[in-house]
């Protein structure tokens, strides 16, 4: 599979360049959240103008971009304006309408393309892709089956008890633990499918997990690929809480396998841009060999935010390079790092009233790097920012991270 449009006359797009019509080199992004904001910062630092399409007048990325097109993602006039302003366009999240990317790709370089984003939007297609490329990636997904109709549900109830206990996941629009129900019995499975509205789902067997990890890969239009070392992740209630990024965060053999598997998955897709592949580390003595692919995100990822402070090229730098057709430097991590996610709870007291975190104390700690996303309203579970701690060695980073997490009342403290 390959993606994109005929880019021979548009790539590379050099930063700071001006075409014969006087138009400055401009990169666009669909989506105005924190990932779009960090992409905009990276593009602007290189010298590009930027344009954001997002319906929210106060979107974090729109507030810092040269242009903010305030329309729906599928609005024809808005898409036409974005295409007029930009030479290349990306997306900050996978649930942007794939048709919008397909429309833009008729006249502009779009990375990643609609076909790949469409796969990532649908767990059924995503798992089929992982299965199809298992021979080259060396990993496969957990045992699963598809439930799209009452007849398929009845078949599973009668014949697939081997998948229980399991997790029933909606095929679309599930993220940060949403659209997922754990089920132990056939009775719970039937009730869960009804609770999720009888929509298309996958039932995935629960495996004995020992850890979760993710790998960030960047691939260019010319097929060049670079990657970051795997990061080990800790989730609380389905939302990323802590990322460990340092040498020794995983057994070396598993780290190598996950990195090679992520690169193989990107190559099999003919992917262009930054791709995050998430894995489960399992301990079941089976043919899984300790590693199972979970899902992929066709964009930079929350677990890669540490690269802004701990690496000489961040995931957002590579996103800009890939879409603009610039060379992809192999990133080098210069500091051990732990990233702590900051959700809306940090700004709320026990009664739900807003309070200000003790930034004076937190920022007095060595190696702390605070990133707030410019969101006005703190809500339970809403990603408001992150704190990355860097240092010369793992022990010092862990010590500071524990102190910061304790002062902020963050979950996952025991996993640092």
Does the structure show a pLDDT above 90 at 296? yes
Instruction: Examine the domain organization and report whether 410 and 353 are in the same domain.
Output: yes
Specify whether the CB–CB gap between 302 and 340 falls below 8 A. no
Instruction: Examine the domain organization and report whether 331 and 246 are in the same domain.
Output: yes
The rounded distance, in Å, linking the Cα atoms of 177 and 199 is 17
Task: Write out pLDDT tens, residues 235-285.
Answer: 998 899 999 999 999 999 999 999 999 999 999 999 999 999 999 999 865
| Total of domains in the chain | 3
Instruction: Examine the domain organization and report whether 279 and 394 are in the same domain.
Output: yes
Does the structure show a pLDDT above 80 at 11? yes
Instruction: Examine the domain organization and report whether 342 and 368 are in the same domain.
Output: yes
Question: Binding site annotation covers 78?
Answer: no
Residue 292: beta bridge partners? 280
What number is the average pLDDT over the span 109-124?
95
Residue 167 banded pLDDT, cuts 50, 70, 90: very high
Domain assignment present for residue 13? The answer is no
What CATH number does the domain containing 260 carry? Answer: 3.30.470.20
Domain assignment present for residue 270? The answer is yes
User: Which residue range(s) make up the domain with 337?
Assistant: 209-415
Question: Binding site annotation covers 343?
Answer: no
Instruction: Examine the domain organization and report whether 330 and 222 are in the same domain.
Output: yes
Domain assignment present for residue 21? The answer is no
What number is the average pLDDT over the span 91-115?
94
Question: Binding site annotation covers 82?
Answer: no
Domain assignment present for residue 81? The answer is yes
Task: Write out pLDDT tens, residues 298-348.
Answer: 999 999 999 999 999 999 999 999 999 999 999 999 999 999 999 999 999
What CATH number does the domain containing 201 carry? Answer: 3.30.1490.20
Question: Binding site annotation covers 355?
Answer: no
Choose one of 120, 152, 168: the last residue of a domain.
120
Domain assignment present for residue 260? The answer is yes
The separation between CA 359 and the C-alpha centre of its own chain, rounded to angstroms, equals: 27
Choose one of 166, 185, 205: the last residue of a domain.
205
Question: Binding site annotation covers 207?
Answer: yes
Question: Binding site annotation covers 187?
Answer: no
What number is the average pLDDT over the span 120-148?
94
Q: Which of 7-11, 191-195, 215-219, 373-377 is predicted most confidently?
A: 215-219
Question: Binding site annotation covers 278?
Answer: no
What CATH number does the domain containing 39 carry? Answer: 3.40.50.20
pTM of the model: 0.94
Question: Binding site annotation covers 152?
Answer: no
pLDDT recorded at residue 8: 45
Instruction: Examine the domain organization and report whether 243 and 268 are in the same domain.
Output: yes
Instruction: Examine the domain organization and report whether 186 and 320 are in the same domain.
Output: no
Question: Binding site annotation covers 212?
Answer: yes
Q: What percent of the chain has pLDDT over 90?
A: 88
Choose one of 63, 86, 120: the last residue of a domain.
120
* Average pLDDT score, the chain: 93
pLDDT recorded at residue 7: 55
Does the structure show a pLDDT above 90 at 286? no
Long-range contacts of 373-377 (CB under 8 A, 24+ apart): 373/33, 373/34, 373/37, 373/60, 374/37, 374/60, 374/63, 374/64, 375/34, 375/60, 376/58
Instruction: Examine the domain organization and report whether 334 and 392 are in the same domain.
Output: yes
Instruction: Examine the domain organization and report whether 272 and 355 are in the same domain.
Output: yes
Question: Binding site annotation covers 383?
Answer: no
pLDDT recorded at residue 111: 97
Instruction: Examine the domain organization and report whether 92 and 167 are in the same domain.
Output: no
Does the structure show a pLDDT above 80 at 9? no
Question: Binding site annotation covers 204?
Answer: yes
Question: Binding site annotation covers 92?
Answer: no
Question: Binding site annotation covers 195?
Answer: no
Instruction: Examine the domain organization and report whether 257 and 399 are in the same domain.
Output: yes
Residue 214: beta bridge partners? 231, 278
The rounded distance, in Å, linking the Cα atoms of 37 and 374 is 9
Instruction: Examine the domain organization and report whether 239 and 181 are in the same domain.
Output: no
Domain assignment present for residue 40? The answer is yes
Domain assignment present for residue 134? The answer is no
Domain assignment present for residue 125? The answer is no
pLDDT recorded at residue 1: 47
DSSP characters for 203-241? Answer: EEE---EEEEEEEEEEE-TT--EEEPPPEEEEEETTEEE
pLDDT recorded at residue 4: 44
Q: Give whole-number Cα distances, 282 to 15, 233, 293, 326, 362, in Å.
A: 44, 14, 11, 38, 35
DSSP characters for 89-114? Answer: EEESSTTS-HHHHHHHTTTSEESS-H
Does the structure show a pLDDT above 50 at 5? no
Question: Binding site annotation covers 180?
Answer: yes
Task: Write out pLDDT tens, residues 180-233.
Answer: 999 999 999 999 999 999 999 999 999 999 999 999 999 999 999 999 999 999
Specify whether the CB–CB gap between 291 and 283 falls below 8 A. no
Question: Binding site annotation covers 48?
Answer: no
Q: Give whole-number Cα distances, 406 to 96, 244, 362, 397, in Å.
A: 36, 17, 10, 14
């Amino acid at each position: 599979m390959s993606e994109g449009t005929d880019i021979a006359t548009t790539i590379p797009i050099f930063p700071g360049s001006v075409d014969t019509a006087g138009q400055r080199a401009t990169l666009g992004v669909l989506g105005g959240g924190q990932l779009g904001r960090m992409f905009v910062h990276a593009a602007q630092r290189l010298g590009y103008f930027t344009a954001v399409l997002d319906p929210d007048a106060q979107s974090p990325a729109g507030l810092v971009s040269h242009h903010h097109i305030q329309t729906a993602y599928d609005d024809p006039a808005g898409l036409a304006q974005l295409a007029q302003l930009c030479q290349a366009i990306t997306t900050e999240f996978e649930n942007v309408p794939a048709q919008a990317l397909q429309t833009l790709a008729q006249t502009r370089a779009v990375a990643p393309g609609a076909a790949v984003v469409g796969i990532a939007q649908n767990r059924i297609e995503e798992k089929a892709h992982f299965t199809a490329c298992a021979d080259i990636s060396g990993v496969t997904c957990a045992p699963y089956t598809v439930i799209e109709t009452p007849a398929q549900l009845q078949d599973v109830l009668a014949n697939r008890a081997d998948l229980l206990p399991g997790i029933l996941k909606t095929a679309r629009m599930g993220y940060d633990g949403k659209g997922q129900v754990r089920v132990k019995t056939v009775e719970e499975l039937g009730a869960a499918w009804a609770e999720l509205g009888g929509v298309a789902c996958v039932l995935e067997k629960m495996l004995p997990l020992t850890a979760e990890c993710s790998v960030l890969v960047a691939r260019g239009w010319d097929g060049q690929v670079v990657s970051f070392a795997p990061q080990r992740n800790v989730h609380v209630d389905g939302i990323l809480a802590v990322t460990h990024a340092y040498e020794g965060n995983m057994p070396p053999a598993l780290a190598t396998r996950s990195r090679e598997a992520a690169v193989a998955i990107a190559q099999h897709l003919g992917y262009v841009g930054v791709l995050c592949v998430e894995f489960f580390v399992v301990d079941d003595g089976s043919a899984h060999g300790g590693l199972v692919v979970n899902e992929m995100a066709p964009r930079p990822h929350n677990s890669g935010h540490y690269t802004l402070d701990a690496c000489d090229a961040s995931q957002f730098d590579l996103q800009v390079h890939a879409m603009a057709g610039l060379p992809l430097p192999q990133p080098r991590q210069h500091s051990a790092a732990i990233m702590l996610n900051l959700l809306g709870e940090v700004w709320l007291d026990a009664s739900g009233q807003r309070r200000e975190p003790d930034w004076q104390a937190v920022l007095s700690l060595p190696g702390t790097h605070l990133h707030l996303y410019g969101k006005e309203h703190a809500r339970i579970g809403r990603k408001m920012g992150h704190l990355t701690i860097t240092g010369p060695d793992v022990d010092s980073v862990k010590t500071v991270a524990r102190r910061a997490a304790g002062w902020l009342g963050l979950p996952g403290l025991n996993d640092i």
